[in-house]
Amino acid sequence: MINPSTGPSSKAKVQHMMYGFGDDPNPLPETVTLVEEIVVEYVTDLAHKAQDIGSKRGKLSVEDFLFLIRKDLPKLNRCTELLSIQEELKQARKAFEVDEDKLATLE
């Protein structure tokens, strides 16, 4: 809808996601538009609420988002899982770089 992005359009992404959740490979365009609108509306609403909470603490943070989806266990668990994976990747990248640096220094 509103996101100008290069590569696959947002509609195509939504369409693929719908297929991933069980829909037909080629759903109706109206369906895709509707689902996209629902998703955008949801994300927008979530961001607004997070900002409301974050402004009370000073700044917006990841914790605010996790707080908002606390009632939705599947989403919450998935979010924490993704965040932990992100941390692990960070550690891995850091270790990788350090290794290179060590090697460089050693050499």
Residue 57 in the binding site for another protein (CB under 8 A): yes
CA distances for 53 relative to 14, 39, 57, angstroms = 29, 21, 7
Residue 52 in the binding site for another protein (CB under 8 A): yes
CB of 16 to another protein, least distance (A): 20
CB of 93 to another protein, least distance (A): 34
The residues near 31 (Cβ < 8 Å, ≥ 6 apart) are 18, 23
Alpha-carbon distance 65 to 96, whole Å? 31
Alpha-carbon distance 10 to 18, whole Å? 12
CB 31 within 8 A of CB 19: no
Residue 81 in the binding site for another protein (CB under 8 A): no
Residue 43 in the binding site for another protein (CB under 8 A): no
Residue 17 in the binding site for another protein (CB under 8 A): no
Q: In terms of CB distance, is 1 or 62 closer to another protein?
A: 1
Positions that interact with another protein (CB under 8 A):
1-2, 33-34, 37-38, 41, 44-45, 47-48, 51-52, 55, 57-58
